């Protein structure tokens, strides 16, 4: 076994990661990872691509990338200097008619071959490096639906693989194959309230593109004249002001109501009581609460104002586990620097808040009440800094 392979395998096993899990997290084929660990360099692609794989794998295992790349070149025997070239002095040019002799044709053929080879390398590089195109055109933006049965439509490259996830749930529709023109359609079943839809496209080189849509399902209300549902809103008070904090939504309704909708988000009701906390963007905000059952519905509204003098960062872990560390005003926040489970949330407030995640795709962030999306791709180590405005 090569020394490089022994270092990679030992670190992976030390962290309790299987080879197929590492392949899924890094988007590198398992056979390439196994070849790196076995020292089977004949099974690997060219040195340029293998060096890129090795850097990604080293970052994933928290190893020194530069040292492993040097070791790889040493084991492949790529460090030996090229033999010195000798150049003959150029002879004086003698003007004469252009005659297509072997002395002329051979250099032209060699130059053409070199240009073709360079063009091939450029094509391979762009095919490998550029993420696939993705256009979700139905819905083109965030939308409101009245029917739980919804068909999402989009366009990408042929031969790609499309995966759609709907939160909450999550509902996952995987291995969708686009048509020959790249179009695809996916039937979805929405839940009442806000549905966050993530569309992911994976091409044959392992590159990924993502698109997000928020679809608010609001079923048609009961016919007019039906009896109204009892609804009382204890908090917030109309005209209340909130600074660097969440807005509490507290109220009561009938026991027959299973949930209420607050600004498009579903809040569960237990024994007629509901309570939730929301971070809203800065400025005046209208809060709309809707309660509905089989016989009718009722809507209450409140006006509040939200002010941020600090950076208020809310972190959600969804779709997997993630190691997260938060640094607030230069000090590591207590309780961070650990593995957060799927579904955990945390809020950090300060003049400067830095969030570092070991799984960027599973880490979602809201900054001063504005949803920022995920921090990056699956298995990616990412860090972002948020400052007071």
pLDDT value at residue 172: 87
C-beta of residue 255 within 8 angstroms of C-beta of residue 272: yes
- Per-residue pLDDT tens listing for the chain (389 residues): 688 888 989 999 998 999 899 989 888 888 888 888 888 888 888 888 888 888 998 999 999 999 999 988 888 876 533 433 444 455 555 455 556 677 667 888 889 988 998 888 777 665 555 788 999 999 998 888 878 889 999 999 998 999 999 988 778 888 899 999 999 999 998 888 888 899 999 988 888 899 999 998 877 644 444 446 889 999 999 989 999 999 999 999 988 888 999 999 999 999 999 999 999 999 999 999 999 887 778 999 999 999 999 999 999 999 999 999 999 999 999 999 999 999 999 999 999 999 999 999 999 999 999 999 999 999 899 999 999 98
* Closest by CA position to 279, among listed 386, 361, 146: 386
* Alpha carbon distance 231, 289 (integer Å): 9
C-beta of residue 300 within 8 angstroms of C-beta of residue 281: no
Query: What is the pTM assigned to this prediction?
Result: 0.41
Domain boundaries, the chain: 3-76, 99-129, 134-217, 231-307, 311-387
Cis ω on the peptide bond leading into residue 236 (within 30° of 0)? yes
* Fold held by 134-217: Immunoglobulin-like (2.60.40)
* Fold held by 231-307: Immunoglobulin-like (2.60.40)
3-76: CATH number: 1.10.260.40
- Assess whether the region 3-76 and the region 134-217 belong to the same CATH fold: no
pLDDT value at residue 78: 62
Q: Which of helix, strand or coil describes residue 111?
A: helix
- 83-88 own/partner pairs: CB under 8 Å, 24+ apart: none
């Amino acid at each position: 076994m090569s020394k490089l392979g022994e270092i990679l395998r030992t670190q992976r096993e030390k962290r309790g990661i299987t080879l197929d899990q590492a392949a899924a997290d890094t988007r590198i084929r398992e056979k390439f990872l196994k070849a790196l660990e076995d020292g089977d360099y004949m099974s690997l692609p060219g040195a340029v691509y293998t060096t890129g794989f090795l850097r990604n794998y080293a970052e994933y295992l928290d190893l020194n990338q530069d040292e492993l790349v040097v070791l790889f070149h040493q084991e492949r025997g790529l460090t030996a200097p090229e033999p010195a070239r000798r150049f003959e002095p150029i002879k004086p040019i003698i003007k004469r008619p252009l005659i297509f002799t072997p002395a002329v044709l051979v250099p032209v053929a060699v130059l053409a071959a070199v240009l073709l080879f360079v063009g091939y390398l450029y094509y391979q590089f762009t095919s490998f490096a550029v993420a696939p195109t993705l256009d979700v055109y139905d819905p083109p933006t965030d939308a409101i639906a009245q029917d739980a049965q919804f068909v999402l439509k989009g366009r990408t490259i042929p031969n790609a693989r499309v995966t759609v996830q709907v939160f909450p749930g999550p509902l996952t529709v995987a291995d969708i194959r686009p048509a020959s023109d790249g179009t695809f359609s996916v039937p979805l079943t929405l839940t009442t309230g806000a549905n966050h839809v993530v569309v992911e496209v994976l091409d044959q080189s392992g590159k990924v593109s993502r698109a997000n849509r928020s679809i608010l399902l609001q079923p048609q209300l009961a016919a007019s004249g039906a009896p109204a549902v009892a609804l009382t809103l204890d908090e917030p008070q109309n005209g209340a002001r909130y600074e660097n904090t969440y807005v509490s939504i507290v109220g009561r309704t009938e026991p027959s109501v299973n949930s209420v909708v607050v600004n498009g988000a579903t809040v569960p009701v237990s024994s007629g009581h509901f309570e939730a906390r929301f971070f809203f963007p800065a400025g005046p905000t209208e809060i709309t609460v809707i309660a509905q059952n089989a016989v009718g519905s009722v809507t209450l509204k409140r006006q509040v104002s939200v002010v941020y003098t600090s950076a208020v960062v809310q972190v959600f872990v969804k779709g997997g586990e993630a190691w997260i560390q938060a640094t607030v005003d230069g000090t590591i926040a207590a309780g961070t620097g650990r593995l957060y489970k799927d579904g955990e949330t945390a809020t950090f407030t300060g003049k400067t808040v830095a969030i570092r995640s070991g799984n960027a795709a599973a880490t979602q962030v809201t900054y001063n009440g504005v949803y920022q999306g995920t921090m990056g791709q699956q298995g990616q180590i990412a860090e972002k800094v948020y400052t007071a405005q």
